[in-house]
C-alpha cells in the first residue's frame, strides 16, 4: 500500500505551489502554480515537470492567483488532457489570469529572441511573469539578473491556444460538492476566504482498505474580510498541508485599516486633491470598493468620485458580480435589500488609455484605483507623473511592495522617482495601510489549525502538519506553534516525497 505526497513547489519559498498525491494507481496534482520573484525561482518555470504529464489523472486548483494556477497551460502543452477541477468562480477568474499570462509569455519570448538574434543582453526573466500576482506571496527579492549561458532561441512557456485547451478541461464545482477525481480519490472544496472562488481542498484517498484524508489549506483568508465567507473550519484529517506566509507575523486589525482609509479620503477631500491607490486587479480592488461603498453609506466619508482605471480589475469585478453564491451573509443581505455592495456609487470605469489619461483633467477631489500594485508598469505610471509632484495628492499603498520595485522605493521615503527616463519629484503625501491583507496571520493560522480534532472525531487531529508557502523564518515560527498545539510539524523541502501510509 502506498499513499504519498511530493512537494514540487511552494516548499521553502512562497510561490510555484504544486503538490503531487499518489494513492495506489492514482496520481492527482494539487495546484500548478507559477514561480515568481528571484531569477532562480522564475527560471524553474521552464524546467520540465517532475512527472509525465499524461500520467496524471486529475488536477485540482485551490484558487486563481498565478502562483497557484499559472503553469496549468504549460502542463496541458506538455500533454495533460484530463480534468482540471476548481470552483466555478475560480474557473472564471483563472481564464482572465491565464490569458493575461499567455499574452505576456508570448511578448516576452519575442523580445528575448529578438535580442538574442542581435547578440544583446536578453530581457530579465521576471518580465515573463504577469503583474497580476498575489503580492503577499512574493519573496522579498524582485531584482533581476540576466540568465546565463543561453544559446537557443526560445518558445513561449505557453500561448493563447494552450489556455483555450486548458479552459476546455476545466470542471467547475460548488463548495461542499463531493467530486470523484480519480480511482479511490474524492475531493471536497471548502471556502478559504482569500479571493473569490478560493478553496481549502479536502482530499480523501484510498489504496486497498487503507484510507487517508489530506487537507490542503490553499491560501487562507481572514475572518474579518468583507464579501467572502470566512475560511471553513475543518475538524478531521490525517495530514494537513498549510500555508505559512505570515507564520511569524500579526496583522493590524481591520478596523484600524478602515480608520486610516477614512483619514486619507477626508484629507484629500478637504484639499481638493487626488487619492491614488495602486492595486492588484483581483481581490484587494473589490474589497476596497466594498469598504468605500460601506463608508459612504454610513456617512463616514464624503462622496468623492472614484475612477476604476484597470480593465483587468473591471473584468475581475464582473466575475465577482457573477458569483453571489460565494458571498457572506452581510453582502447577501445588502444585495437582498437592493444595495449594490460591490459598486461604489457613481464609480467610473475607464476602458481606453485616452480615458485613463483624461483623468488628470477631472474635477477634484477624486479617487483613482489603478494597477500595477507595485508601480512596476501599467496605467498607474502616467498618474504618478501627474500626481507625485502635487502636495495635495496622496499615494496610498494598500498592498505589499516587493524589494527593488518603484513602490518600495517611494514607500521607503524616496524623494524622487524615475519614470520613463524622467526624474519626478515626490511631493505628495505617501500613506501605507497594512491591514487589508488577504492572508491569515500567525494567530489566524493557529486558530484554523486548532479546529482539528475538536468535534470529538476519533483521530481528528492530524498526525502531521506540513508547512508550505512561507519563507524559512515564517515556516519555522509556525512550526513552533504547531508543536505547542501537540501536533507534529514538518517543514516541506523542495521535491521531497513523504509516505503517508
Task: Give the binding site for Zn ion (CB under 5 A).
Answer: 65, 134, 219
Q: Cβ neighbours of residue 259 under 8 Å, at least 6 residues apart?
A: none
**Least separation in angstroms between CB 193 and Zn ion:** 11
Q: What are the cell numbers at 151?
A: 544559446
SS3 at position 20: strand
- Which residue, 70 or 156, has its beta carbon nearer to Zn ion? 70
Answer yes or no: are the C-beta atoms of 411 and 432 closer than 8 Å. yes
**Least separation in angstroms between CB 286 and Zn ion:** 14
- Which residue, 86 or 268, has its beta carbon nearer to Zn ion? 86
Within 10 angstroms of residue 414's Cβ, the number of other Cβ atoms is 13
Q: How many degrees, rounded to 5, is the angle at CA 322 between CA 321 and CA 327? A: 65
Q: What are the cell numbers at 299?
A: 456617512
- Which residue, 65 or 251, has its beta carbon nearer to Zn ion? 65
Closest CA to 278 of 391, 178, 404, 376: 376
**For the chain, what is the radius of gyration of the CA atoms?**
23
Q: DSSP letters of 38-69?
A: SHHHHHGGGSPPSS-GGG--EEE-S-SSHHHH
Answer yes or no: are the C-beta atoms of 407 and 376 closer than 8 Å. yes
**Least separation in angstroms between CB 135 and Zn ion:** 9
> H or E element: which one contains 117?
helix 88-117
- Which residue, 125 or 219, has its beta carbon nearer to Zn ion? 219
**Least separation in angstroms between CB 301 and Zn ion:** 29
Cis peptide before 372 (omega within 30 of 0): yes
**In the 8-state DSSP scheme, what is residue 280?**
-
- Which residue, 65 or 490, has its beta carbon nearer to Zn ion? 65
Answer yes or no: are the C-beta atoms of 305 and 359 closer than 8 Å. no
**Least separation in angstroms between CB 9 and Zn ion:** 13
**Least separation in angstroms between CB 245 and Zn ion:** 9
Answer yes or no: are the C-beta atoms of 36 and 42 closer than 8 Å. yes
**Least separation in angstroms between CB 172 and Zn ion:** 19
**Least separation in angstroms between CB 64 and Zn ion:** 8
- Which residue, 112 or 175, has its beta carbon nearer to Zn ion? 175
- Which residue, 65 or 383, has its beta carbon nearer to Zn ion? 65
Q: Cβ neighbours of residue 361 under 8 Å, at least 6 residues apart?
A: none
- Which residue, 73 or 197, has its beta carbon nearer to Zn ion? 197
Q: Which residues pair with 422 in a beta bridge?
A: 419
Amino acid at each position: 500500500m502506498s499513499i504519498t505526497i511530493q512537494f514540487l513547489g511552494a516548499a521553502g519559498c512562497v510561490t510555484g505551489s504544486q503538490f503531487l498525491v499518489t494513492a495506489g494507481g492514482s496520481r492527482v496534482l494539487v495546484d500548478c502554480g507559477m514561480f515568481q520573484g528571484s531569477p532562480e525561482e522564475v527560471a524553474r518555470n521552464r524546467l520540465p515537470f517532475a512527472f509525465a504529464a499524461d500520467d496524471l489523472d486529475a488536477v485540482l486548483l485551490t484558487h486563481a492567483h498565478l502562483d497557484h494556477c499559472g503553469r496549468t497551460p504549460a502542463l496541458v502543452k506538455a500533454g495533460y488532457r484530463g480534468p482540471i477541477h476548481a470552483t466555478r468562480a475560480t474557473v472564471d477568474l483563472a481564464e482572465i489570469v491565464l490569458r493575461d499570462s499567455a499574452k505576456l509569455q508570448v511578448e516576452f519570448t519575442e523580445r528575448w529572441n529578438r535580442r538574442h538574434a542581435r547578440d544583446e543582453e536578453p530581457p530579465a526573466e521576471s518580465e515573463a511573469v504577469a503583474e497580476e500576482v498575489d503580492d503577499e506571496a512574493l519573496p522579498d527579492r524582485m531584482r533581476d539578473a540576466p540568465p546565463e549561458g543561453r544559446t537557443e532561441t526560445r518558445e513561449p512557456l505557453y500561448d493563447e491556444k494552450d489556455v483555450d485547451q486548458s479552459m476546455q478541461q476545466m470542471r467547475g464545482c460548488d463548495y461542499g460538492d463531493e467530486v470523484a477525481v480519480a480511482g479511490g480519490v474524492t475531493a471536497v472544496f471548502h471556502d478559504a476566504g482569500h479571493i473569490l472562488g478560493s478553496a481549502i481542498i479536502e482530499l480523501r484517498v484510498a489504496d486497498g482498505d487503507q484510507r487517508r484524508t489530506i487537507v490542503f489549506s490553499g491560501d487562507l483568508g481572514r475572518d474579518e474580510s468583507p464579501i467572502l465567507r470566512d475560511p471553513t473550519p475543518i475538524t478531521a484529517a490525517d495530514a494537513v498541508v498549510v500555508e505559512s506566509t505570515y507564520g511569524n507575523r500579526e496583522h493590524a486589525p481591520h478596523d484600524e485599516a478602515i480608520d486610516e482609509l477614512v483619514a486619507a479620503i477626508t484629507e484629500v477631500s478637504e484639499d481638493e486633491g487626488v487619492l491614488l491607490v495602486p492595486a492588484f486587479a483581483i481581490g484587494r480592488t473589490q474589497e476596497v470598493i466594498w469598504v468605500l461603498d460601506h463608508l459612504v453609506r454610513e456617512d463616514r466619508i464624503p462622496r468623492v468620485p472614484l475612477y476604476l482605471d484597470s480593465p483587468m480589475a473591471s473584468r475581475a469585478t464582473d466575475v465577482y458580480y457573477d458569483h453571489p453564491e460565494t458571498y457572506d451573509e452581510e453582502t447577501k443581505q445588502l444585495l437582498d435589500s437592493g444595495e449594490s455592495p460591490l459598486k461604489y456609487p457613481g464609480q467610473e470605469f475607464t476602458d481606453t488609455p485616452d480615458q485613463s489619461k483624461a483623468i488628470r483633467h477631472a474635477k477634484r477631489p477624486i479617487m483613482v484605483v489603478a494597477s500595477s500594485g507595485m508601480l512596476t508598469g501599467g496605467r498607474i505610471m502616467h498618474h504618478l507623473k501627474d500626481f507625485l509632484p502635487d502636495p495635495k495628492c496622496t499615494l496610498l499603498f494598500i498592498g505589499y511592495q516587493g524589494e527593488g520595485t518603484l513602490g518600495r522605493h517611494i514607500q521607503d521615503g524616496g524623494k524622487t522617482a524615475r519614470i520613463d527616463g524622467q526624474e519626478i519629484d515626490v511631493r505628495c503625501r505617501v500613506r501605507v495601510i497594512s491591514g487589508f491583507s488577504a492572508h491569515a496571520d500567525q494567530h489566524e493560522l493557529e486558530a484554523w489549525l486548532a479546529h482539528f480534532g475538536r468535534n470529538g472525531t476519533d483521530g481528528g487531529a492530524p498526525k502531521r502538519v506540513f508547512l508550505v508557502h512561507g519563507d524559512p523564518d515564517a515556516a519555522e515560527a509556525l512550526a513552533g506553534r504547531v508543536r505547542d498545539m501537540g501536533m507534529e510539524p514538518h517543514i516541506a523541502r523542495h521535491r521531497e516525497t513523504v509516505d503517508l501510509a
